[in-house]
Amino acid sequence: MLGVGASLSFGVEPDPVALAASPGGPSFIEYAGPVEHGLHAASTKALQDLGIPVLYHPSCLNLCGPHPNPEHWLTQVDAHVKAVGSAWLAQDVACCFVGNTPGYSIQLGYFVPPVQTRDALEEAVDRVMEVRRRVQAPLLLEPAPVTFVAGDMDIFSWLGELARRTGCGLLLDAGHVVSHQLVAGRELTEGLDALPLDQVVEVHVAGGVIEEHEGRRYYKDAHDLPVLPETWSVFRYLLEHCPNLKAVCVECEGSVADTVLPMLRKTRERVALGAANEALRLKAREELGQ
Amino acid sequence: MSTATQHAFLVRLLFDEELRDAFFAEPEATASREGVPPDDLEALKTIDRTGFELDAAMRRDYLMSALCRAYPLSAAALGSLPGGPRRLAAFLTSPRLLADPSTRSEAFGEHLARLLSFGTLMPPVWDGLVESILAFERGLVREAAALRRSVERGDPVPTVKRKPGPGPMALPAFSFAVELPVPTALIKGALDQVSAESAWHHISSGRLSSQRLLTVARADPLPVTLLARATVVGVPVGSVVDVTHLTAELNGRRAAFFAGLDGTRPLSDFPRSELPALERLIEAGLLETR
C-alpha cells in the first residue's frame, strides 16, 4: 500500500528528495526519465535511504500502434525497474516513437494516442504483451489525455478490453478522464463502469485547464496549475469505485514548491474520507498523522 | 485494412499543416492522393477538426520550442520575416524530424540555411549578418553532436585543461571560431532579447522586427570573433551524454588567427602584448597547451 505520493522530476525544482524528507511529504515518488537508470541513481538511492519507494513511469514504450518495441529497449526498461525497485511499471497507452529506432514521446511532441478501433486494439494487445513478456513487473495502462479521438470504439471499452486481455492493471488519471469525456460529449463519470475498476491500482490527480474553442470544451494537462473542480469530481468517483486502489499520485512537475505539501494534504484528506479500499483510507489517515 | 498505413497517415496529419487543410476539406480525395485506402480512412474521417488542430498546435509549439533552442538568434531572425513562423514550422514535415535529437537538430540548421538561400527579400547586408549568426549556431550544434558521437564510440572524454604549460598551443578538439560583423548583444537587443528558452514563443508571437535587425546590419561594423568549445558535463551514463559549450566573444576579426593555431608554437612564441589575452583563454578552457 503506497498511499499518497507525488510525481516529480529529478534535477529540477521542486526537489523530490527534499520534499520526501519534509513532514507531510510524499509517501512515494513517481518519475519519468531516460531508460538508463544510472542517470538518477544518486537521487533514487537518497529516496530509498529515506524509506521512500519510487515508481518508474516512462514515456518510451509503444503500448499501441504498428511499431514494435525492440528487445534491447525492453531489456533496458526491465533493468531500470529492477534497479530502482519500482513496484510496477506504468505508462500512457500511446505511441512514443515511429520506425525501428526507439525513443521518447517528446520526440513526437507528445504521446500519439491510439486509434480506437478493433484492429488497433488487436495491435495494442501485441504491443502490451511484448512489454509484459520482457519486463518482470506488473504493468499498469493509463489512458493518455486527448483533444480528439479517431475510431468508433469508446475509450473505456477499448482500454478495458486491453487490460482484461493482457492481464494488466490500470492507472487512471482523473484529468485525462475529463479530457475523454469532453471530447465524447459525455458527463464526467459516464461510461466509466466499462472499465474493470477492480484492476485500478493507481490514480493520478493533477492541475489542468479547460479551453473553449468553436463552442466545444477541451481539457489540457497543466501540472503547474491547480486541480479543476471537474477533475476532483472524477477523482472522487474513482476513489469510491476502485476497491483495489493502492496509490494516489499528485502530479507536481513544474509546480511552485510551496504548493506541493498543501496539495498532498488536501488529497490525503479526500482519500482518508472517500477511498473504497479501507487499507488505503487507513494509510492516508496515518500520513495525516491521525 | 492496414493499421500501419492508417497510423502513418495520422502521424503525418499531426505535423503537416497543408496536408491537414486538404484532408479536412476533402478527406476521400486527399487520402486517395496519399495512397491511403478507403478502409484505413474510415476511423479518421470522424476526427473533430478543432480538437485535432489543438493537438497539432501543442505538438508544433513543443517541438519548435525544442528545435529553436539551439538556434535562437538565427531562427528569430528568419522568424521575424513575413510568414517566418510558418516557414520555420515547415521542418515538421521533414522525415528527419523523427531522427535522434542530434541528427534532428543538425537537420533543422540545414533547414534554416535553406530558408536563407531561398532569398529573404531583405538587403544582402541583412542576409550576411544572419548567415554569420547561423554559422555560429550550426557550429555549436555540429561540435556538440561530434563530441557525443565520440563519447558514444568509447573515445576518452576530453578533459578541460586550464593551466598554461610549456608545450605548443592549440585549439582544443570540438572547438571553432566564427566572426560576426557586430557584437551578439546588439543582435539580441534587436531581437527583443530572445533567449534559447523563449525563442519560439517570441517567433510565434509575431512581434519580432526584421527591420530592427536590418538597422543593426547596416550600422558601422564592430566585428567580433566568437570562440566556442563543446565539453561534456558530468559523467556520461550509457547513451546520455550531457554537453555544454565554453564560449568567449572577442573584439575584432580573429578567426584566421585561431585557424592558424596548428599546435606547433608554444605560448612564448606569441607577442608579449597578446599573452594576457591568450592566457585568459587558456584559463577559460578555450585554448590549451599540449
Report residue B1's pLDDT band, with 50, 70 and 90 as the boundaries.
low
- Write the ipTM: 0.95
Q: pLDDT at position B56, please?
A: 98
User: Strands A29-31 and A3-7, how do they pair?
Assistant: parallel
Q: Does A199 touch chain B (CB under 8 A)?
A: no
Nearest CA in chain A to B58: A109
Average pLDDT, chain B: 94
Do the chains contact at B100 and A123, CB–CB below 8 Å?
Answer: no
Position B238 confidence tier, pLDDT thresholds 50, 70, 90: confident
pLDDT at B197: 96
State pLDDT tens for residues A61-101.
999 999 999 999 999 999 999 999 999 999 999 999 999 99
Q: Would you call A148 an interface residue with chain B, using a CB distance cutoff of 8 Å? A: yes
State how far the Cα of A115 lies from the Cα of A124, in Å rounded to an integer.
Answer: 10
- Chain B hits for A120, CB-CB cut-off 8 Å, are 3, 6-7, 43
pLDDT tens digits, B53-92: 999 999 999 999 999 999 999 999 999 999 999 999 999 9
Over pLDDT 70: what percentage of chain A? 100
User: Is residue A30 exposed (0-12), middle (13-18) or buried (19+ Cβ within 10 Å)?
Assistant: buried
Q: Does A72 touch chain B (CB under 8 A)?
A: no
- Contact list in B for residue A100 (CB cut-off 8 A) is none
- Rounded-to-integer distance, Cα B32 and Cα B28, Å: 6
DSSP at B240: B
* DSSP label of B200: H
Residues of chain A above pLDDT 90, percent? 92
CB contact under 8 A, B237 and A36: yes
The SS3 of residue A28 is coil
pLDDT tens-digit map of B161-209: 898 888 899 999 999 999 999 999 999 999 999 999 999 999 999 999 9
Does position A170 have pLDDT exceeding 90, yes or no?
yes
Q: Say if pTM beats, i.e. exceeds, 0.90.
A: yes
Of A117, A120, A148, the CB nearest to B52: A148
- The mean pLDDT of A5-34, rounded to a whole number, is 92
Cα gap A232→A230, rounded to integer Å:
5
Residue A13 has what pLDDT?
Answer: 85
What does the pLDDT average to over A19-40? 93
Residues sharing a CB contact under 8 Å with residue B93, sequence separation 6 or more, in sequence order:
B12, B15, B16, B19
Task: pLDDT band for B19, please (50, 70, 90 cuts).
Answer: very high
Residue A181: pLDDT band (50, 70, 90) is very high
